[in-house]
Amino acid sequence: MNESLILVDLLDRPIASGEKLETHRAARLHRAFSVFIIHNGKMLIQRRAMDKYHSGGLWANACCSHPRWGQTFEESVQDRLLLELGITKGTCCPQELFSFVYFTPFGELSEYEYDHVLLADYDGPLVPDPSEIMDLRWVELAALKQELEQYPQRFSSWFLIAAPRVLAMVGNV
């Protein structure tokens, strides 16, 4: 898999490519995406595999990754949905809601991302990749809001930023 990420400035303008691990070691701002999936008043969340290079064991949105240099944004999203969740290309068509910049250190690595948040309504089959995901669950929106308020330590840093905005946009919770 192409591991060249898209380095950007604070206005999300591409400035160069960067190898994935080196980009995270050097705390270089790079483009990312977070896909949120909802259906019938529930959100699909994943618990990241324990051996991920950061945030292992924490709950996050259905799918997240980085667009790859030389690939369109849509191709990157569809490739990642297939890899992480087994969602066939074209059966889930996320639309962008908003974007934000965040920085979170993880020892010698960090996430410094210009994160594009996307939303899709999907209720098809899911085949999680165990190297990426240790658990999946559908959670009622109101219950997720309560869980975020009571147990923030259970969630990834980007999810804590994006999820409240997504919840406010998709339902009265």
How are beta strands 42-48 and 30-39 bridged, if at all?
A: antiparallel
Task: Give the predicted TM-score (pTM) of the model.
Answer: 0.94
For residue 58 the two structure tokens come to 């924490």
The whole-angstrom separation of Cα 99 and Cα 143 is 24
State the average pLDDT over residues 84-89. Answer: 95
pLDDT of residue 149: 97
The whole-angstrom separation of Cα 125 and Cα 50 is 24
Q: Could you tell me the pLDDT band of residue 173, with boundaries at 50, 70 and 90?
A: low
Domains and CATH numbers, the chain: 4-170 (3.90.79.10)
Give me Rg for the CA atoms of the chain. Answer: 15
For residue 134 the two structure tokens come to 């240790």
Q: Could you tell me the pLDDT band of residue 171, with boundaries at 50, 70 and 90?
A: confident
Check: CB of residue 33 under 8 Å from CB of residue 79.
no
* Residues known to be catalytic: 64, 113
For residue 171 the two structure tokens come to 């339902």
Phi, psi of 116 (to 5 degrees): -95, 120
pLDDT of residue 18: 96
Per the prediction, the chain carries an average pLDDT of: 94
The whole-angstrom separation of Cα 131 and Cα 115 is 22
**11-36 pLDDT per residue, tens:** 999 999 999 999 999 999 999 999 99
User: Of 59, 62, 58, which Cα lies nearest the Cα of 81?
Assistant: 62
The whole-angstrom separation of Cα 166 and Cα 75 is 23
Phi, psi of 172 (to 5 degrees): -85, 95
State the average pLDDT over residues 104-123. Answer: 95
pLDDT of residue 8: 98
State the average pLDDT over residues 123-134. Answer: 95
Q: Could you tell me the pLDDT band of residue 113, with boundaries at 50, 70 and 90?
A: very high
pLDDT of 2 over the 70 cut: no
pLDDT of 1 over the 60 cut: no
